[in-house]
Structures are given as structure tokens and as C-alpha cells.
Amino acid sequence: MGAGLADQVSASLIAAGRAPSTPVAIVENGTRPEERVLTGRLDDLGGLVARHAVTGPAMLFVGEVAAFAEAFVEPARQLQEAAA
């Protein structure tokens, strides 16, 4: 997802009534060793994509569920490492 497309998605969702402060999460390269989970706000979606140079396959989560990403990503990663 490029920053330009992310800006368009953000603007469209805000125009449709989503609050600019709506949580978002981007999962890049999900299930791969290089997986990254990025979290932020809908009104900064383009900036989030640009700052982190998102280039791999990515899924976008929008809404309150995205706010839980940070709470679960690191503990899950630690469990995977302990099991390896």
C-alpha cells in the first residue's frame, strides 16, 4: 500500500463519517518472518505508511479492534520465540 493510496483511503473513510482519531493497524507480510504490525490513527494513515516504508503485502484494520494490536503483538512474538 503506497502512501498516496493510504491517504485516499483515509480521506474516504473520514468523509464517510469515521472519526479522524479512529485506530488503524497495518499488518505487513503477515505470517512471514519479516511481519510488521504498525498502529496509528486514521488521519495519519498515509504518514504511517510513508514513515515505515510499507512495501510488502499488507492488510489494513480500521476501528477499535486495531487498538488491541499493540497489546497482543509483542506477547505473541515472545511465545513464538520461546517455542522455537
Check which CATH number belongs to the domain holding 31 and give it: 3.30.950.10
Rounded to an integer, the average pLDDT of 32-42 is 92
Rounded to an integer, the average pLDDT of 34-42 is 93
pLDDT, tens digit, for every residue of 40-82?
A: 999 999 999 999 999 989 999 999 999 888 777 777 777 878 8
Task: Identify the domain containing residue 48 by its residue range.
Answer: 3-83
Strand order across the 23-28 sheet: 36-41, 23-28, 58-62
Kindly indicate the confidence band of residue 15, based on its pLDDT and cuts at 50, 70 and 90: very high
Which of 9-13, 15-19, 62-66, 79-83 is predicted least confidently?
79-83
Tally of structural domains, the chain? 1
Residue 23 pairs in a beta bridge with: 41
